[in-house]
Amino acid sequence: MKNRKHWTYAALALAGGIIGGAVSSQLLPAESLALASARAAREIRAERFVLVGHDGTQRGIIQVNQRGYAEIALQDGLGRTRTEMRVSSDGTGAFGFFDANGAKRVIVGETPSGRDGIALYSTAGRQLASFSVAEDNQSSVTLYDPNNGRARVGLGVASSGEPALVLFDQYGRDRAELHVNVNGDPGLALANASGKTIAGLPVEPAQQTQQ
């Protein structure tokens, strides 16, 4: 969004409207003022609006871009985009926050699959953490390796209410799981690099003591 032309006609039009209103209130009869008010525009249509500061620096933009996103972008005093709100043509929307280098740091929104969440990113643009909720009410927290971007820890609750903790190796492979099923019985499973279970500690429900 850098190097965009600074538009000032909107500010000039606004100033002209204020001045014109002040003059007309002194020179025009009441009937003419009523007619002018009736003709006042109630709607403005455009593909793009640009917000500029007092020094002419672009500070924001409202537009529908070439990809069909309706977006609002706000920029700092140097013209760098720091916050964006977007809604795509298919209805998915997101808020984004960016650092001074233009790298995304926080994204809040909805994915095309219907999962809502928050994603946090490193200075290098890699995802570090996320919190999400699916359409079936399954929720999860995932932590990622800052060096390769692969998931390393997952904590979630299934739509059935079963909680689980999963640990992944440096290649993103599931190596350990701890869970509690719907009956309240805990379990632990360990897997090798091929995904085969090599150890487990299922706990059977305690049997009632015969009297």
pLDDT by residue (tens digit) across 96-141?
999 998 889 999 998 777 889 999 999 888 899 999 999 899 999 9
What residues have CB less than 8 Å from 89, skipping those under 6 apart? 68, 69
Residue 173 Ramachandran class (φ > 0 left, ψ -120 to 50 alpha, else beta): beta
> Rounded to two decimals, what is the model's pTM?
0.68
Measure Cα distances from 72 to 15, 132, 188 in Å: 24, 24, 47
In this prediction, residue 43 has a pLDDT band, given cuts at 50, 70 and 90, of confident
- CATH architecture of the domain covering 92-200: Alpha-Beta Complex (3.90)
Under DSSP, the state recorded for 12 is H
Strands (E), the chain: 48-52, 58-64, 70-75, 81-87, 93-98, 104-110, 116-121, 127-133, 139-144, 151-157, 163-168, 174-180, 186-191, 197-200
What is the CB neighbour count within 10 angstroms for residue 137? 11
Q: Is residue 8 pLDDT above 80, yes or no?
A: no
Is 98 in contact with 81 (CB distance < 8 Å)? yes
Separation of alpha carbons 127 and 104, rounded Å: 9
In this prediction, residue 167 has a pLDDT band, given cuts at 50, 70 and 90, of very high
Percent with pLDDT over 70 in the chain: 76
pLDDT, position 111: 78
What residues have CB less than 8 Å from 145, skipping those under 6 apart? 151, 152, 170
Rounded (5°) CA angle 55-74-127: 140
Dihedral pair phi/psi, residue 119, rounded to 5°: -125, 135
In the numeric block, the tokens 């985009």 are attached to 81
